[in-house]
Structure 1
Amino acid sequence: MQASESTPFIQEVVTRDDFRHAMAGLAAAVNVITSDGPGGRAGFTATAVCSVTDDPPTLLVCLNRSASVHAAFSANATLCVNTLAHGQHELSNLFGGKTDMTERFAAAQWHTWVTGAPVLEGAAASFDCRVSKTVSVGTHDILFCEVVALERQGAAAGLVYFDRQYHGVTARPV
Structure 2
Amino acid sequence: MPVEGATYREAMSRLGAAVNVITTIDERGRHGLTASAVCSVTDQPATLLVCINRSSRSRVAFRVGGPICVNTLAHAQREISVAFAGRLGMEERFEEGVWTTLATGAPVLEEALVSFDCLVSSIVEVGTHSVIFCHVQEIRLGDAAEALVYFARAYHGLSHQPG
So what's the TM-score if we normalise by structure 1? 0.88
Q: Does the CA contact (< 8 Å) of 2:119 and 2:136 recur in 1?
A: yes
Structure 1 stretches lacking a partner, 5+ long: 1-11
User: Are 1:86 and 2:86 counterparts?
Assistant: no
Q: Does the CA contact (< 8 Å) of 1:135 and 1:142 recur in 2?
A: yes
Q: Percent identity?
A: 53
Q: How many equivalent pairs are there?
A: 162
User: Are 1:138 and 2:141 counterparts?
Assistant: no
AA aligned opposite 1:37? D
Alignment correspondent of 2:144: 155
AA aligned opposite 1:44? L
Judge which range, 36-45 or 52-61, deviates more. 36-45
The structure whose Rg is larger is 1
Alignment correspondent of 2:52: 63
Alignment correspondent of 2:117: 128
Query: Structure 1: how far apart are the matches of 2:52 and 2:22?
Result: 10
C-alpha RMSD of matched pairs (Å): 1.4
AA aligned opposite 1:113? L
Q: Does the CA contact (< 8 Å) of 2:123 and 2:131 recur in 1?
A: yes
Secondary structure of 2:32's counterpart equals strand
Runs (4+) of structure 1 moved beyond 2 Å? Answer: 37-40
User: Are 1:102 and 2:91 counterparts?
Assistant: yes
Query: Structure 2: how far apart are the matches of 1:39 and 1:50?
Result: 28
AA aligned opposite 1:91? I
Deviations 1:61-102 (A, max 9, x none): 011111101111127721100000111111101101111111
TM-aligned CA distance change 1:59 to 1:99, over 3 Å: same
Give the counterpart of 1:38 among 2, 7, 27: 27
Alignment correspondent of 1:49: 38
Secondary structure of 1:87's counterpart equals helix
So what's the TM-score if we normalise by structure 2? 0.94
Higher-strand-fraction structure:
2
Judge which range, 131-140 or 38-47, deviates more. 38-47
Q: Does the CA contact (< 8 Å) of 2:38 and 2:50 recur in 1?
A: yes
